[in-house]
Structure 1
Amino acid sequence: MSGDEDDWFESADDGPFDESEDEELFEEDFESAFESGGGGEDFEEDFESEIPRIDLGIEGLDEMVQGGVPERSLLAVMGAAGTGKTTFGLQFLQRGIENDEKAIFIALEESRDAVIQAAEEKGWPFEEYIDDRKLAVVDLDPIEMANSLTSIRGDLPRLVDDFDAQRLVLDSVSLLEMMYDKQAERRMEIFDFTRALKEAGVTTMVTSEASEGNPYASRHGIIEYLTDGVFVLQYVRSEFRETRLAVEIQKIRNANHSRETKPYEITSDGISVYQQANIF
């Protein structure tokens, strides 16, 4: 871990994973833990307008979500390497800062400097935001993270509260999942981690590697069940072997949204979704 944020992650009182946990009971609780309405059905009428909404900050994609995503929801962006998951997260924070919100980026795979450089290349002055205390960028060493996941999870609400953040990005949750060999332990730890994110009271976006055989599923098939919204980024190849990037909203609880698959590009200004275009 680097930066002035070191003291945000102190030891927590949570105990270690108990392998005697009743896995059958866990299976019953797993998919229902964050129930707040379905995400895959066709909605016949609008949801209550008093639910606070926020924009993602991605042109075209915001128009595909009626009224914006619900505030304080937990969102996942899934995709293969090169589909722009990190850019998606950076752009999400950029919009928040433009709206006078504070933001936190937690990097599990890239260094703090690499994250800042990636944002600066898109014209987003993250270094300036950090100096003005509008943004905190925290990077965690994989070895340190493996030894202190419980304390990190326990300190997330305090991190958000101390910084008064409204948006948070965790890039990526796949690295957390890879730390566990046993599926039951992996599911329980990610379950607890996502619950801590929701309890922090901040709109959170996590990135996740997609399954090699199924772009609509994460690598370990966990995170999509624990989040309120899922955005799928994928490569689509036509019969003429032309490959394009495409985005689809798999679900957003408590919000109407388009179910079409739309092309997008990653440019020097970030991600742009062509809402009016078709894939081919």
Structure 2
Amino acid sequence: MVQGGVPERSLLVAVGEAGTGKTTFGLQFLHEALSNGERAVFITLEESRGRVIQSADEKGWAFSEHADRGNLAVVDIDPIEMANSLTSIRNELPRLVEEFGASRLVLDSVSLLEMMYDDQSTRRTEIYDFTTALKEAGVTTMLTSEASEDNPFASRYGVIEYLTDAVVVLRYIRPEDFRETRLAVEIQKIRDANHSRETKPYEITHEGISVYRQANIF
């Protein structure tokens, strides 16, 4: 679906409801980098460091080994603390990426960051500054975002998709006959790259997200 891949140093977001595999997608995104001998950073605002590593290990991705070797940094941050020190973290991110030599970074999830701001204008400004810092760090970054309660194609606050270079939507499709709820993925945009406009079914397996490229959603 991503024809030729996501351009290096771009900023992408995976938008989806709970249970659609956003975190799995992020782990898989880093697994690909680690498999190619690159270094990676996973920042979680939702799980503990140990739980993230365990979850990846259970899928056969050996995050514990990569962390022990120094190829992977898994950082868990309390979202309340992050809101209080967002400026310092934003300033530290480029240095962390440069010193660690990471080629990919995942932040799971940006929605928890956005929730810290009651004012829409402040939220937009803070998240804009944060995404700018990530781009300046020169790392290919994936953010995860909860979908809006009213619209599965939009993020919770409708901000992050305008600040990123690529948007991937993971969503449920519930047929009218209620026989089986399915998962479907589509790419809304990728700047400077060609991509499929089709909606494809996928499954979350013990090896991660598997897209059925030959099938279509009707």
Q: Secondary structure at the residue paired with 1:240? A: coil
Once the two structures are TM-superposed, the CA of residue 121 in structure 1 deviates from its matched residue by 1.2
Q: Counterparts in 2 of 1:168-179, with a 5 A limit?
A: 168-179=105-116
Shift of 1:98: 0.6
What is aligned with 2:100? 163
Q: Unpaired segments of 5 or more residues in structure 2?
A: none
Alignment size in residue pairs: 217
Using the alignment, how far apart are the partners of 2:176 and 2:152 within structure 1?
A: 19
Q: TM-score, normalised by structure 1?
A: 0.76
Structure 1 segment 180-195 matched on structure 2, within 5 A: 180-195=117-132
The whole-number CA distance in structure 1 between the counterparts of 2:23 and 2:150 is 21
Asked if 2 retains the 8 angstrom alpha-carbon contact of 1:77 and 1:207, the reply is: yes
Question: In the alignment, what sits opposite 1:30?
Answer: none
1:65 deviates by 1.3
Paired position in structure 1 for 2:156: 219
1-structure distance, mates of 2:165, 2:80:
30
- Contact 2:44 2:107 survives alignment (8 Å): yes
Structure 1 portions without partners, runs of 5+: 1-63
Q: Identity of counterpart residues, as a percentage?
A: 76
Partners of 2:146 and 2:78 in 1: how far apart? 19
The Cα RMSD (Å) is 0.8
CA contact (8 A) 1:244 1:279 kept: no
Aligned pairs (5 A) from 1:193-272: 193-241=130-178, 242-272=180-210
Which residue in 1 is equivalent to 2:56?
Answer: 119
Normalising by structure 2, report the TM-score: 0.98
Segments ≥4 residues shifted beyond 4 Å? none
Match of 1:275 in 2: 213
- Give the secondary-structure state (helix, strand or coil) at the position aligned to 1:71: coil
Instruction: State how far apart, in whole Å, the 1-side matches of 2:79 and 2:182 are.
Output: 33
- In terms of fraction of residues, the more strand-rich structure is 2
Measured after TM superposition, the shift of residue 279 of structure 1 is: 2.1
Structure ID, larger Rg: 1
Q: Match of 2:70, SS?
A: coil
Q: What is the deviation of 1:239?
A: 2.3
